[in-house]
Amino acid sequence: SGTHTLDVCEAITEVPAAKPEVVAAQIHDASDDVLQIRLEGQKLMVQYDDGKSEQIIDPDYTLGTPYHLRIVAADSKVDVLYNSEKKAELPLHGSGWYFKIGAYVQANGESGDAKTVGAVAVHALNVDHGSGSGASATTEAATERSGARGRPRVRPAARRGRLPRTRTDAHG
């Protein structure tokens, strides 16, 4: 319960060629994603309900363009704001949720893109679980992930700015 907020300034900088799709932010639970901020081609969207539902937050996203994303989970709903404009109010609730930020490519060997990379530059990050203090990592960081499954690789220049994974219970 309570209010749980993710504030991030990030830019998707690279997508795999054969399947140009990257997930840049998520709410996750113990078994699966609850919500994804996902780029497919130039279409930036919030996707939920196991990919069955989506709302476009930027129909013509340009790679490398920084944006401010705020996800607020409270009162049995999740609000998604993109560059300070509310783009989605989703009827989602649950427990054991946590936020994830990074470059999660959607390519694999079957798409012919197993060794290509997706990248997301994280310029600022703050997570608040209702206390107002937040946990933040505001040093510039960049993560990249290849099509092979595994953990995102942190580029050497960003090793100091590793971002903590945070858990939250976001239900009303």
pLDDT in tens, 90-143: 999 888 999 999 888 876 666 556 667 889 999 999 999 886 656 655 434 444
pTM above 0.85, yes or no: no
Question: Tokens standing for 4?
Answer: 């749980």
Percent of the chain with pLDDT over 90: 52
Residues 6 or more apart whose Cβ sits within 8 Å of residue 116: 16, 17, 18, 105, 107, 146, 147
Q: Average of pLDDT values for 52-63?
A: 96
Asked if residues 3 and 77 have their Cβ atoms less than 8 Å apart, the reply is no
